[in-house]
Amino acid sequence: MFQDSSFSALPEALRVSGLGALRVGLIGTGVVGSGTCQLLARNADLIAQRVGRPIRLVMAAARDLHKAAQVVGPDVDLVSDPLALVRHPDIDVVVEVMGGVTLAKTLVLEAIAQGKHVVTANKALLAEHGSEIFAAAQARGVVVAYEAAVAVSIPIIKVLREGLAANRIHEVVGIVNGTSNFILSKMAEGGQDFAAALRLATELGYAEADPSFDVEGVDAAHKTALLAANAFGADVPFAQVHAQGITELDPWDMACARALGYRIKLLGIARQQAEAIEVRVHPALVPEGHWLAQVQGSMNGIWVNTDAAGPTFHYGAGAGSLTTASAVVADLIDVARLGPAGGPARVPHRAVQPTAIRRWPVLPIGQVASRHYLRFAVHAWPELLTCLPDWLQSVGLDVQSWAHVRHPEDGHQDALVVLTPSLSADDLAARLELLRHQSGGVVPVAVWRVEDLPCSAM
């Protein structure tokens, strides 16, 4: 079984390391697992030419062995017990693409205990249990690689940890959930409501049967926590990461935002403050001239701002079988090179050496300052058209920009939309309460944050 035919076929001169093939055990033969099999087979020669040693899938664990056999082909040993794979002496590196947290955590920790490197696409696992897993890997001297856990076709973990390693990274703002961005793109194009756009996403395969992790912002929050960890060298307590999805977003707000020169996107935001970090996911208005406003459909885009390199932007597909496999196999290539080289040659799991990891407090969402978009229904309060700016000023909200937007079909929806100065959500809530009190009940029907990212970057 483990006779290394691909290695014998490799020209002698390519075997730079004197090592045989890197032997891979795969847990999970679904969408990502099958893509990984396919890519390792299809580009085997190229991969060996890059690394100087072959990377060979030798074993896979799956629940349905019959189905899995069709995925992995005849040359790969199949087991139904993933623990047997993790403990097998002929495996150098375990690829965990089964998903879920509980069993995956057990398996990853056991693989580490067995001295095996781990490559995983499991953002939930690492966002929630990264500290424990990375500490175990560090102690055991193995690598846990996870480019496939964030934006897959965009090697953003490598960009943050290595490409921009000379920089202090000020902020990372990303569209990192393709399902949500697809739905928002449809809502923006066609004025469909969330439910209709979600149905379309499901029909076209862009949304899973249970889309709640995607549309409620949890998946994006996992990814944003990992981005923050790598941008700031931080241990990010996931429980403190604010996640708000797109389920309550009205397409009418997307049209009103457009009247002010903005698009609404689901953003993952990681920003360094003086003594804290912001790590949050929510829909936000982005200037239409910014790159992030142009990311359409199921694609991902990530904007990074740094002290020396300035702003950079990175774009690509954030999901898919071969697309995710691209990141899994890139990590395997790194492991093939750096696994034998030992600790000092490797990039730390969260960008800085473990002793330098900071546990910055995550700023509570209520204390995060930004401009805010407020939508008021003109129908309910016609006097708003003349009085609102004064009323807002009387509670300390000087309107910086506003528009009266008439609904194309339904006059009841006509809106007065305004952009506030920058202030915290808590402060805004207090002032809006004062407004309600002073005005006899005026409240905005929608409130969204504005992310005024600089557009010179486009």
> Between residue 252 and residue 311, which ones bind a second copy under the rule CB under 8 A?
291, 294, 296-297, 299, 306-311
Least separation in angstroms between residue 55's CB and a second copy is 9
Among 7, 50, 114, 445, binds a second copy (CB under 8 A): 50
Interaction pattern, residues 209-238, with a second copy; x per rule: CB under 8 A: ------------------------x-----
Per the CB < 8 A criterion, the answer to whether 107 and 86 are in contact is: yes
Q: Is 349 in the site for a second copy (CB under 8 A)?
A: no
Cα 91 to the center of its chain, rounded Å = 29
Q: Is 68 in the site for a second copy (CB under 8 A)?
A: no
Q: Is 163 in the site for a second copy (CB under 8 A)?
A: yes
Closer of 265 and 337 to a second copy (Cβ): 337
Long-range CB contact pairs, 106-115, < 8 A, 24+: 107/27, 107/82, 107/83, 108/133, 108/144, 109/133, 109/136, 110/83, 110/86, 111/86, 112/136, 112/137, 112/140, 112/142, 112/144, 113/140, 114/86, 114/87, 115/140, 115/141, 115/142
What are the φ and ψ backbone dihedral angles of 236, each rounded to 5 degrees?
-100, 115
Q: Is 340 in the site for a second copy (CB under 8 A)?
A: yes
Closer of 224 and 326 to a second copy (Cβ): 326
Least separation in angstroms between residue 389's CB and a second copy is 35
Applying CB under 8 A, what is the total number of residues that bind a second copy? Answer: 81
Closer of 152 and 176 to a second copy (Cβ): 152
DSSP string, 307-352: SSS-EEEEEEE---HHHHHHHHHHHHHHHHHHTTT-GGGSPPTBSB
For the stretch 234-266, what's the b/e string if a residue is b when 16 or more beta carbons lie within 10 angstroms of its beta carbon?
bbbbbeebbbbbbbebbbbbbbbbbebebbbbb
Q: Is 9 in the site for a second copy (CB under 8 A)?
A: no
Q: Is 223 a catalytic residue?
A: yes
Interaction pattern, residues 350-389, with a second copy; x per rule: CB under 8 A: -xxx-xx---------------------------------
Among 2, 5, 16, 454, binds a second copy (CB under 8 A): 16
Least separation in angstroms between residue 43's CB and a second copy is 6
Positions marked catalytic: 223
